[in-house]
């Protein structure tokens, strides 16, 4: 298909996202791919999420909403995480049914619901209307497999101190596992959603889509594909950073934070190639004040240029006068256009919490990583970065769970100056090439999306 060519729509998909930036981004990018291949797409999120979104003028995907029961403020207005999820599970299905009914009578009938795996009740809605029900997994296949084994009772919990071996995966230490599996008491509401709920009905879905690419997780993809009709469709970055099949697709399009793009890029343009340490812990992670202090002094002691994203809600944890003391070397900013930053030639390494989206972005753009995982799937992603992809170093935490400044500084210098850094940069280049090939025309993920669209059209 020619770049930018308009197509007549052959089917209509609702793509339903859990209300978090890290879920909205990949599902939006997948929606753009479907649209490009001739499928009409309506992206659906909660009204509370919709009210916080800054929408790029270039975004052409239609957006509709359902209710989570907290239309003013979402989870932040709930008494607890459990209360929020309970209410969402009551209200969400009914308002999704109402949305489908509205579309069906408006002359734009829905043929398929692609739903975030965190919202398994959407499968019941799809079945009610006789539509395809398709699961979208926003985490890696490795993490999905671990959670599936836990849900089926095939992974004995609580974990003991022994090495964990699962089919298609490397041996894991318990601390390499997702936090709510390694420490069962840490996030019981999330355990119920991410482990128990997410995989309870996955076997009944018509297709299972995963935001990864085959070459990255071959063994575990092959194993899961024996259980489910699994297709890898990632990495879900804007096309202009990968295969360039989608014209002008340079940004995700929806963001809960407004980036200060001009200040970031102007500052980076004045830096030498490969000289900058970029630091960001995503849209959700909140570091302890002690950890923020250790990180701050590590950046100062490294003597490197650094660009540090510190959300407004986290600013009070910065050591007093730190910005003034480091103004010659550092730029601190509330939010920035991460893809543009990672793609900039000045980028040397990325100090990251190892959220799956950030991991895929760095991997796809060939940026070495210093891994500082915080919770949920991030420890498992860090294991892959260091031991499987070999394109980063994990900064070890002490007995208090704090990563000290010496450890962070060592990792930064090793990547930018050390012998191991040479191998890491070489591997980063290799994964960048493989990620692009997966999404390019005829690549593993592109072919999977084509096959999914063909199945959708034949079902219709």
Examine the pLDDT at 373 and tell me if it is beyond 90. yes
pLDDT at 85 over 50: yes
Query: What is the predicted pLDDT for the residue at 260?
Result: 80
How many residues can be counted in the chain? 460
Catalytic residues: 23, 116
CA distances from 378 to 146, 208, 371, 387 (A): 13, 22, 9, 14
pLDDT of residue 9: 66
DSSP letter at 242 equals T
393-407 mean pLDDT? 96
Strand partners, 414: none
Q: What is the pLDDT of residue 8?
A: 54
Q: Which domains does the chain have, with CATH numbers?
A: 12-245+440-459 (3.40.50.2000), 259-435 (3.40.50.2000)
Residue 336: the pLDDT is 93
On the question of pLDDT at 248 being above 60, the answer is yes
> Which of residues 60 and 450 earns the better pLDDT score?
450
Cβ atoms of residues 388 and 170 within 8 Å = yes
For residue range 316-336, list pLDDT tens digits in order: 999 999 999 999 999 999 999
Q: What is the pLDDT of residue 5?
A: 39
Report the pLDDT averaged over residues 72-98: 96
Helices (H) and strands (E) in the chain, counts: 17, 15
Average pLDDT over residues 370-395: 96
Classify residue 372 as exposed, middle or buried by CB count within 10 Å of its CB (0-12, 13-18, 19+). buried
Mean pLDDT calculated for residue range 9-19 = 93
Averaged pLDDT, 9-22: 93
pLDDT class for 357, splitting at 50, 70, 90?
A: very high
Sheet holding 392-394, edge to edge: 330-333, 305-309, 276-280, 347-352, 369-371, 392-394
- Model confidence band, residue 186 (pLDDT cutoffs 50, 70, 90): confident
- Name the band, by pLDDT with cuts 50, 70 and 90, for residue 187: confident
End-to-end CA distance of the chain: 22
Helices 356-365, 21-36: axis angle to 10 degrees equals 50
Strands (E), 363-460: 369-371, 392-394
Q: What 3-state class would DSSP assign to 415?
A: helix
pLDDT of residue 101 exceeding 90, the answer is: yes
Which has the minimum average pLDDT: 5-9, 120-124, 143-147, 177-181? 5-9
The count of other CB atoms within 10 Å of the CB of residue 306 is 25
Q: With pLDDT > 70 as the criterion, what percentage of the chain qualifies?
A: 97
The pLDDT value recorded for residue 178 is: 95
Q: What is the mean pLDDT of the chain?
A: 94
pLDDT of 58:
59
* Residue pLDDT, tens place only, 271-301: 999 999 999 998 888 899 999 999 999 999 9
- Residues 54-80: tens digit of each pLDDT: 776 556 799 999 999 999 999 999 999
pLDDT of the residue at 190: 87
2 pLDDT above the threshold of 60: no
Between these two residues, 258 and 428, which has the higher pLDDT value?
428
């Amino acid at each position: 298909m020619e770049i930018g060519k308009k197509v007549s729509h052959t089917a209509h998909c609702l793509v339903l996202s859990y209300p978090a930036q890290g879920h909205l981004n990949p599902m939006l990018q997948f929606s753009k791919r479907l649209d490009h291949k001739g499928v009409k797409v309506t992206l659906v999120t909660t009204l509370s999420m919709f009210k916080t979104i800054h929408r790029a003028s270039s975004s052409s995907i239609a957006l509709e909403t359902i209710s989570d029961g907290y239309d003013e403020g979402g989870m932040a207005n709930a008494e607890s995480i459990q209360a929020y999820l309970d209410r969402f599970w009551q209200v969400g299905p009914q308002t999704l049914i109402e949305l489908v009914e509205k579309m069906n009578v408006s002359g734009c009938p829905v043929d398929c619901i692609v739903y975030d795996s965190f919202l398994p009740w959407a499968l019941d809605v799809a079945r009610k209307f006789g539509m395809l029900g398709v699961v979208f997994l926003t985490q890696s296949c490795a993490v999905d497999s671990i959670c599936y084994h836990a849900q089926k009772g095939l992974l004995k919990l609580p974990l003991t101190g022994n090495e964990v071996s699962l089919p298609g995966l490397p041996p894991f230490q318990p601390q390499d596992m997702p936090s709510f599996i390694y420490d069962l008491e840490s996030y019981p509401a999330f355990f119920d959603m991410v482990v128990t709920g997410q995989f309870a009905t996955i076997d009944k879905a018509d297709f299972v889509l995963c935001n990864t690419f085959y070459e990255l997780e071959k063994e575990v993809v092959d194993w899961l594909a024996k259980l489910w009709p699994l297709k890898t469709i990632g990495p879900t970055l804007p096309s202009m950073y990968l295969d360039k099949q989608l014209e002008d697709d340079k940004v995700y399009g929806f963001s809960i934070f407004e980036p200060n793009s001009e200040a970031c890029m102007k500052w980076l343009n004045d830096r030498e190639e490969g000289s900058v340490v970029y630091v960001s812990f995503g849209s959700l992670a909140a570091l302890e004040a002690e950890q923020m202090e250790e990180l701050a002094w590590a950046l100062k002691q490294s003597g490197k240029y650094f660009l540090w994203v510190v959300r407004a809600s986290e600013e009070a944890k910065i050591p007093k006068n730190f910005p003034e003391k480091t103004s010659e070397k550092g730029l601190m900013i509330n939010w920035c256009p991460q893809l543009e930053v990672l793609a900039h030639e000045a980028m040397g390494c990325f100090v990251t919490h190892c959220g799956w989206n950030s991991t895929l972005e760095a991997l796809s753009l060939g940026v070495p990583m210093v891994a500082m995982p915080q919770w949920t799937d991030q420890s498992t992603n860090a294991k892959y970065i260091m031991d499987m992809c070999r394109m980063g170093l994990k900064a070890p935490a002490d007995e208090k769970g704090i990563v000290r400044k010496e450890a962070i500084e060592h990792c930064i210098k090793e990547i930018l100056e050390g012998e191991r850094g040479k191998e890491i940069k070489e591997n980063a280049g290799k994964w960048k090439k493989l990620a692009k090939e997966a999404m390019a025309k005829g690549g593993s993920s592109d072919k999977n999306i084509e096959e999914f669209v063909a199945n959708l059209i034949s079902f219709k």
